[in-house]
Amino acid sequence: MIAATCAFFAAAIPCALARRSSVAAWRAQKEAVADPVEILVDRLDLERYKATIKGLTQFGDRRQGTDRNRQAIDWIEAQLKSYGCTNTERLKYDYQPTGPDTRKSLPYTAVGPGLPTPPDAISVGGGRPRGLRTLVGVNNDPGAQPDPKIRALDSQPSSPGAREEVYCTKVGTTHPDEMYIVSGHMDGIGWGEAANDDGSGTALVMELARVLNSPDVQTERSIRFILWNNEETGLNGSTAYVEQRKDLQGKENPPRSGRYPEPKWLGMIQHDMMMFDHGAPRADGTINKEQRPEADFNIEFQLNSKFAAQSQALAWTLEQADEKYATDYPARVGSHMTNTDSSPFMNEVAAISVRENERGTEIGNGWDPQWHQPTDVYKTYYDKDFRLGLNAAQTTLAATAQLAGVTVKGISPPAH
């Protein structure tokens, strides 16, 4: 309107002034009105994410029921406290293995060749696998780990008995009685460093705890950060949590204290293996050394669950957060979530898992040759791998911040 009027009257000088002052006003307004979600996503950083994964690998594979597992839990708890998530708690349970681990020991070198997937194959979780597949399994052979330092670090065997897992909570300002759960599993297997499985998911959750517990960040609803133990033995840590705590949801304790030890569950987002998407096995059984150009990460819900509709909606919320906030990689939604700590939640609340590949059709077909192998060590990965995990962190951070109603001090969200 100003431009048209100016051109018509050819009054160059006053028009330029008018335009400049309106630009200045617009700039001033924009500085005060910024997107708090974007500000938080900018606080994630590739080098910090890598350093947190590296920190976890100092405890080797962190196998449940060992000293290195207990030391890792202590270290994670100290980190959470240092981030400002100071109200850490431990869930306690007992783990007795039902028998010896009967999964076939399978060293990395024995995975080839790539064999055609039978046309009628159905993967765990219910998906339909395609292309070539290789054998997958768990390495239980210490001799398959070439690095003597890592071999020594992983040597103490697991003993049955008392177990713990750590969590902390960002308490909501207006709805402390409701929460979102953001989680990963901190235990591993396979005689490596569990860098990807699941150092990458554990570090993601820790980085989100750091950003969301910054002193200038508030959320209307609570967010709980949980690092499960005993995932690799069959989801025992997350199952114990659901059993012990589902009936405590939303109860104020002590009465009229304003404290809710177990806020009502609004959604659960699990992260497991966030870094490796190099494509499907080739005819000789090998996998590309480089990340595939079309790399993505996968958000899965389980079609055959009580909360399938709500879980699907949560999955699309993350997909939209990826579209808006993730810097490099797209996210894909799938319907076959399986074998992960969100499974014990899926008939109680909206529950999804976030992963480098689909668990059933892709990991199950051999897309990740480091999976439960001695090669799952920090030095196996390069920056593009770490960046895939960082993009998943950006996505869950953005989605959770929006869902929980985030504000950052001094910043007003833009009007829609």
Residues that bind Zn ion (CB under 5 A): 197-198, 272
Question: Using alpha carbons only, how large is the chain's radius of gyration in Å?
Answer: 24
Least distance (Å) between residue 363 CB and Zn ion = 9
Vertex 379 angle, CA 373 and 382, to 5°: 110
Is 270 or 400 the residue whose CB approaches Zn ion more closely? 270
Fill in the amino acid letter for 238.
Answer: S
Comparison of 64 and 218: residue with beta carbon closer to Zn ion: 64
Cβ density class 61-74: b for 16+ within 10 Å, e for less = bbbbbbebbbebbe
**Which amino acid does the sequence have at 188?**
G
- Rank residues 39 and 274 by Cβ distance to Zn ion and give the closer one: 274
CA dihedral 188, 194, 197, 202 (to 10 degrees): 90
Nearer to Zn ion, 222 or 370 (CB): 370
Minimum distance, C-beta of residue 231 to Zn ion, in the bound complex (Å): 6
Distance of CA 135 to CAs 117, 274, 308, Å?
11, 21, 31
Reading the block at residue 365, the tokens are 């077909």
> In the complex, what is the shortest distance from the CB of residue 191 to Zn ion, in angstroms, rounded to a whole number?
15
Nearest distance from residue 339's CB to Zn ion, in Å?
8
Instruction: Name beta bridge partners: 300.
Output: 334, 353
Going by their DSSP bridges, the two strands 331-334 and 406-408 should be labelled as unpaired
| Residues belonging to the chain | 416
Q: Which is nearer to Zn ion, 83 or 241 (CB)?
A: 241
Q: How far is the CB of 355 from Zn ion (least distance, A)?
A: 9
Of 270 and 305, nearer to Zn ion (C-beta) is: 270
d(CA 356, CA 116): 22
Question: Identity (one letter) of the amino acid at 331?
Answer: A
Least CB distance to Zn ion at residue 196 (A): 9
Tell me how far, at minimum, the Cβ of 311 lies from Zn ion, in Å: 19
- Residue with Cβ nearer Zn ion (197 or 362): 197
For residues 40-51, one letter each, b for 16 or more C-beta atoms within 10 angstroms of the residue's C-beta and e for the rest, the string is bbeebeeebbbe
Phi, psi of 338 (to 5 degrees): -160, 160
User: Closest approach of Cβ 122 to Zn ion, in Å?
Assistant: 22
Closest of 250, 81, 89 to residue 172, by C-alpha:
250
Cβ at position 228, least distance to Zn ion in Å: 10
Residue number, 178 or 376, with CB nearest to Zn ion:
376
CB closer to Zn ion, 213 vs 353: 353
Strands 221-228 and 175-185: parallel
